[in-house]
Amino acid sequence: MPSDVPLPIELDLLPLVARTDIRDVRLVSIEAQAPDVQAEDAAVHFTMDEMAYRVEAGTLFVRVAANVRYLAEGPGAGQPSAPESEPPRLEIGRITLVLLAELAFEGGEISQTQADEFMARNLLFMLFPYIRTTVQQVSADLRLPLTVLPYLRRETGITSEDADPPD
């Protein structure tokens, strides 16, 4: 919740992320399928759909969908083996979830340009912990291979050659 303490500087001068309050993040849809067999050796494939959003009266509403597929090597039941160098992968489980987030901004209205920049630079980092937690819990509940998504890293622009300490 935004602070009631007055700030010593104008809110318009603060970066938008410093004026952001996450009001709500809720799971609005989940679909999951567990395998009929043990899936300990399944490969995990994670994707996210493009986030959709709209701005209304100083509030940003965001919809994000994440998809996790569990793929096992080998043909499905009743399918002949293929003599290929790369064994076929069969989907044995999946989790699809949709989150809806509501963010408010101290200082009132924001422009569409500000919202676009905020989405591109910050929103995935703000919502990813919710996605990560849900995927981990659901994968455990369904006895799928425990799926712990890694934390996100921001691009720093620093290469390993640049990482030497200054003289």
Span 106-163, pLDDT tens digits: 876 788 888 888 888 888 888 999 999 999 999 999 888 888 888 777 765 544 444 4
Which residues span the domain enclosing 125?
A: 11-75+86-145
Give residue 48's pLDDT.
Answer: 93
CATH number at residue 39: 3.10.420.10
- Is 167 contained in some domain? no
Q: How many domains does the chain have?
A: 1
50-55, long-range: CB < 8 A, 24+ apart:
51/119, 51/123, 51/124, 53/115, 53/119, 53/123, 55/110, 55/112, 55/115
- Is 151 contained in some domain? no
- Is 161 contained in some domain? no
Give residue 68's pLDDT.
Answer: 95
Higher pLDDT, 88 or 137: 137
- Is 156 contained in some domain? no
Give residue 27's pLDDT.
Answer: 96
- Is 22 contained in some domain? yes
Compute the mean pLDDT over every residue in the chain, rounded to the nearest whole number: 79
Higher pLDDT, 35 or 83: 35
- Is 135 contained in some domain? yes
- Is 152 contained in some domain? no
What percentage of the chain has pLDDT greater than the value 90? Answer: 32
Query: Residue 10 pLDDT more than 60?
Result: no
Give residue 113's pLDDT.
Answer: 86
Enter the tokens of residue 11: 């809110």
Give residue 82's pLDDT.
Answer: 54
- Is 153 contained in some domain? no
Mean pLDDT over 45-68 rounds to 91
Asked whether 143 and 57 are in contact (CB, 8 A), the reply is no
